[in-house]
Amino acid sequence: MSRDGYATLGTLLTPEEAGMAQGLLETAGVEAVLEDQALSAVDPLVRLAIGGTKLLVRAEDADRARALLDETGVLRPASARPAEEVEIPEAEWSAPPPEPPPEETGAFDWSGPRVLFVLAVFAATAYALLDEARRHRWMPWGP
């Protein structure tokens, strides 16, 4: 693509961000083109080396496009955007931290009804295997 007649509005690090900015401009009727989008999508290290994806618009639409992007804050870094003040109630930040959950060892608890259940399953499985072996005469000691 020839850059004649196009102005670079900015560089966005990820092709996804650039695609959203392009969609925003095209929705407003401004033709936008992305440069180095495919190369930025292939390898994050290459993306850093080439500086990300460039957002280009026609030179005659540059002022309008820049106004649209400034209005939405797309090209401004997060540090330049006005911060929203958040009120955190004192009860939340002054409360003591919650008690940590009891440490779990992950070992099987061999007490109570669980043991009976495990033994019953083991006995039923052993009986079924032995019965099958007896019926098919797999046991050397006879039927």
**72, part of any domain:** yes
**69, part of any domain:** yes
Condensed to tens digits (0 to 9), the pLDDT of residues 82-110 reads 667 778 888 888 888 888 777 666 666 66
Summary mean pLDDT of the chain: 80
Of the residues 78, 100, 129, the one at which a domain ends: 78
Residues 6+ apart with CB under 8 A from 38: 15
How far apart CA 67 and CA 81 sit, in angstroms, is 15
Domain that holds residue 33: 6-78
How many folded domains does the chain comprise?
Answer: 2
Give the domain CATH number at 10: 3.30.70.1530
Which of the 8 DSSP states describes residue 14? S
How far apart CA 55 and CA 62 sit, in angstroms, is 11
pLDDT for the residue numbered 93: 80
Angle made by CA atoms 106, 117, 127, in degrees to the nearest 5: 120
Please give the span between the terminal C-alpha atoms of the chain, in angstroms, as a whole number: 86
Query: Stretch 5-32: mean pLDDT, rounded?
Result: 88
pTM attached to this predicted model: 0.52
